[in-house]
Structure 1
Amino acid sequence: MKFRPDRRVALVAGAVMLVLAGVPGQAQQKGKYGPGASDTEIKLGQTMPYSGPASAYGTIGKLHTAYFKMLNEQGGINGRKINLISLDDGYSPPKAVEQVRKLVEQDEVLALFQTLGTPSNSAIHKYVNAKKVPHLFLATGATKWADPKNYPWTIGFNLSYQAEGVIYAKYLMKEKPNAKIAILYQNDDYGKDLLKGVKDGLGAKGAKMIVAEASYEVTDPTVDSQIVTLQGSGADTFIDITTPKFAAQAIRKAYDSGWKPLHIMNNVGASVGSVLAPAGLEKSAGLLTMQYYKDPNDPQWKDDPAMLEWRAFMGRYYKEGDPKDTSNLYAYITVQTMVHVLKQCGNDLTRENVMKQAANIKNLKLPLLLPGMSMNTSANDFSLFKQAQLARFTGTQWTLFGEVLSTVD
């Protein structure tokens, strides 16, 4: 039967269309756009170490790409497809500068998302703020990313390295006050930042607990000689501030040389898939770290709905990704955070509004965060996380213990 609308029906339909046109998020409403955004597309950019000494982290960018593919199949965000341009910087600051300039000046992305590494982000920090490009949810925990006064276009993601260092120091001061501490750290902003947190947490009273320090360069082939030196100090506690490649080497060398300290591994080097398994699970038993999101290798989350959803995503959209690699779960949380901000933007997809919404995250409890954890930002506070919990590696998985610890007094 042919439908013939009369004049009254046509008028009603027209009124409905006018009402819908006024609803934020409807595809027919024209938006307010900055570079990289339109009625049909939102263009984001990032640099990742797909090659070089930190290439284990390249899986983060691959997962982001897979997630946006899934999202686009579902219709995108408010009818707009996400176009993520993810470039290799080899964990090299000069290369990061070159690639970010391309993303900003040639590709004209709306925002940068999850650019990885403290050295690389340090190299582009002033440039992107001068260009007023949102520089969001950096894959690094350097404390300096939370500086809205001087760098209002940059927000980090990770719990800050200094905060992490403070947590380890507080734990040692309480549980092992007579510890003899040896520290290995990467000789850059990342390593020095976490080292500062440890020293701040120990304070003047605990400073004498540190009996040895050693650093390494990302271009070093191994950290074997540093481990031998630290072992020779007589330390019974080892704080390990390393990225995955060197973290695996440190675990293996310490074990093989017969050194059995209390081994504290910083969060970025604590992935079972990319660090502990290559080093040897039996050699990793007893390690301590801190966590603020769920570990896919922890059996307590085996039937957790959010974990099941993530595993289903991995099986369908990122089959080549390792579900044991915590970096892939971390990447999933970060991309969900970016989507949350873009949804909050509605049809105002200017760089200014993207930044305004990123600085207006209120009690966001993504399901893969640990229970009790939430994300918050404000115009004066760019630190997403302020809590964490310690975990011990059993030889098969990380097991949480103790209370949720605040990074602030």
Structure 2
Amino acid sequence: MTLRSPSVAPNSITRRRFGALVAGAAVLGAPALRAQGNRLVLGQSAAFTGPAAQLGIQFHAGAKLCFDALNAQGGVAGQRIEIRQLDDGYEPERCVENTRKLLADDAFALFGYIGTPTSLAALPLATRDGAPFIAPFTGAMGLRQPFNKLAFHLRASYNDETALIVRQLTNLGLNKIAVFYQNDSYGKAGLDGVTLALAARNLKPVATATVERNSVDVAQAVANINAARPDAVVQISAYKSCAAYIRAARAAGYGGTFYNVSFVGTQALADELGKEGAGVVVSQVVPTPYSAARPIAREFLDAIAKGGNQVQPNFSSMEGYLAARLFAEGLRRAGGRATREALIAGLEAIGDHSIGGFAVSLGANDHVASSFVELSMLTGDGRVRT
């Protein structure tokens, strides 16, 4: 860690000045001073390989697109923002190892972690280090309750998503609802959301079945759920396993509908399924990037064009872009003080705010920026309609 004063050359620092700096650091706490010159390094552990790789790749691409554009304009409050990315393959143990490395290397904050099991494993380490944990790509309530002063969420919760899905299905008279879910904290968070929404209507899942994380072994799950003859199957997993389930269920004679929460990776699911994706529904927690109706979508598409069209516009990259915009707004409101405490205060000072027409709200006692949820549908030609 380097303590620098712009008015005193490093070689001419006095003993009194050195003592004052050390005392100041003690008051602030060592984790507070993480800015490296005029550069802030954010640490991101995410899946960049394996069956969930597109989630990490696309989120990172969208966030980097935003930060690169801001850096080209001189940064935010004089600070250039960089992301140091480490691959965890969507496995908690690897995420823990990565997080320890990032914190040991003085990451200013942790940003854009992908997934519930990985984020749940990392958050205690961030808390112990005093590192802000910003915009994890998960809607699990376990990361939101109890309230953590260091955790800030961009997206709506899985409870919000599953409530909309269940409302849509029951409004259509489809009450026999099954749940196919990943056998970990992510899948169970989604199952809890569906169960809660059904219970409000005096209903229960007609069947449930699981798949292991990073697996596409779905045969038993298909057999168990198909036997219950559900009207619809709500899927709480990543795109590879959800695509495998849809194919296998249809091959076994299932003719009902499939609903997914946003974490599935919408474009990745569409790419996996191709024509077989027609009619599959996915809930979304950020605005569509495929239409220029909202200012944020126009801004995003314009940034992609100016960046040489190297980023694919999809919901995952849009979420990364919005997460970067939220971070930058918090840093701007920190008033040029590049400390963790100032960033937290800056994020909490955002209050009710619009990011290109996307409403966010943060405060001292509310670190969930958005409850936006809408439904989209795959069209079968690789596109997504909202």
TM-score range, shorter chain: 0.7 to 0.9
**Equivalent residue number for residue 103 of structure 1:** 102
Inter-partner Cα distance in structure 1 for 2:34 and 2:334: 14
Q: Check the 8 A contact 1:294/1:368 in 2, yes or no.
A: no
**Equivalent residue number for residue 157 of structure 2:** 160
SS in 2 for 1:387: coil
Inter-partner Cα distance in structure 1 for 2:165 and 2:189: 14
TM-score w.r.t. the length of structure 2 is 0.84
Q: Check the 8 A contact 2:140/2:186 in 1, yes or no.
A: yes
Inter-partner Cα distance in structure 2 for 1:270 and 1:68: 22
Q: Which runs of 5+ in 2 are unaligned?
A: 1-27
Q: Check the 8 A contact 1:185/1:192 in 2, yes or no.
A: yes
Counterpart of 1:322 (choices 291, 308, 312) is: 312
- Judged with a 3 Å threshold, the aligned counterparts in structure 2 of structure 1 residues 140 and 165 are, in CA distance, closer, same or farther, namely same
**Equivalent residue number for residue 244 of structure 1:** 239
- Judged with a 3 Å threshold, the aligned counterparts in structure 2 of structure 1 residues 360 and 244 are, in CA distance, closer, same or farther, namely farther
- The Cα of 1:362 is off from its aligned counterpart by 1.8
Residue by residue over 1:310-356, the C-alpha shift from the partner in whole angstroms, topping out at 9 and shown as x without a partner, is 22322443644323x32112211111111111111122222112122
Counterpart of 2:179 (choices 176, 183, 202) is: 183
**Equivalent residue number for residue 252 of structure 2:** 257
- The Cα of 1:173 is off from its aligned counterpart by 3.3
- AA aligned to 1:50 is F
Inter-partner Cα distance in structure 1 for 2:337 and 2:89: 34
Q: Which runs of 5+ in 1 are unaligned?
A: 1-31, 401-409
**Equivalent residue number for residue 173 of structure 1:** 170
- The Cα of 1:286 is off from its aligned counterpart by 2.0
- Identity among equivalent pairs (%): 27
Inter-partner Cα distance in structure 1 for 2:268 and 2:308: 16
**Equivalent residue number for residue 281 of structure 2:** 288
Q: Which has the higher contact order (CA 8 A, sep 6+)?
A: 2
**Equivalent residue number for residue 191 of structure 2:** 195
- Judged with a 3 Å threshold, the aligned counterparts in structure 2 of structure 1 residues 203 and 190 are, in CA distance, closer, same or farther, namely same
Which runs of structure 2 are paired with 1:18-167 in the superposition (5 Å)?
A: 34-59=32-57, 60-105=59-104, 107-147=105-145, 149=147, 151-167=148-164
Which runs of structure 2 are paired with 1:217-232 in the superposition (5 Å)?
A: 217-232=212-227
Over the aligned positions, Cα root-mean-square deviation in angstroms equals: 2.4
Q: Check the 8 A contact 1:148/1:382 in 2, yes or no.
A: no
Residue by residue over 1:374-407, the C-alpha shift from the partner in whole angstroms, topping out at 9 and shown as x without a partner, is 111222222222232233444454444xxxxxxx
**Equivalent residue number for residue 375 of structure 1:** 360
Counterpart of 1:310 (choices 300, 318, 332) is: 300
Q: Check the 8 A contact 1:67/1:317 in 2, yes or no.
A: no
**Equivalent residue number for residue 271 of structure 2:** 277
Moved more, 331-340 or 217-226: 217-226
SS in 2 for 1:260: coil
Q: Check the 8 A contact 2:50/2:214 in 1, yes or no.
A: no
**Equivalent residue number for residue 4 of structure 2:** none
SS in 2 for 1:116: coil
- Judged with a 3 Å threshold, the aligned counterparts in structure 2 of structure 1 residues 124 and 318 are, in CA distance, closer, same or farther, namely farther
Inter-partner Cα distance in structure 1 for 2:326 and 2:236: 26
- AA aligned to 1:389 is E
Q: Check the 8 A contact 2:348/2:364 in 1, yes or no.
A: yes
- Judged with a 3 Å threshold, the aligned counterparts in structure 2 of structure 1 residues 368 and 189 are, in CA distance, closer, same or farther, namely farther
- AA aligned to 2:70 is L
Runs of 4+ residues over 4 Å off in structure 1: 302-305
Q: Check the 8 A contact 1:56/1:244 in 2, yes or no.
A: no
State yes or no: 1:385 paired with 2:370.
yes
- The Cα of 1:204 is off from its aligned counterpart by 6.3
Inter-partner Cα distance in structure 1 for 2:65 and 2:376: 30
TM-score w.r.t. the length of structure 1 is 0.80
- The Cα of 1:148 is off from its aligned counterpart by 5.9
- Judged with a 3 Å threshold, the aligned counterparts in structure 2 of structure 1 residues 49 and 364 are, in CA distance, closer, same or farther, namely same
Counterpart of 2:344 (choices 355, 360, 372) is: 355
- AA aligned to 2:221 is Q
Larger radius of gyration, structure 1 or 2? 1
SS in 1 for 2:208: strand
Inter-partner Cα distance in structure 2 for 1:270 and 1:41: 31
**Equivalent residue number for residue 353 of structure 2:** 364
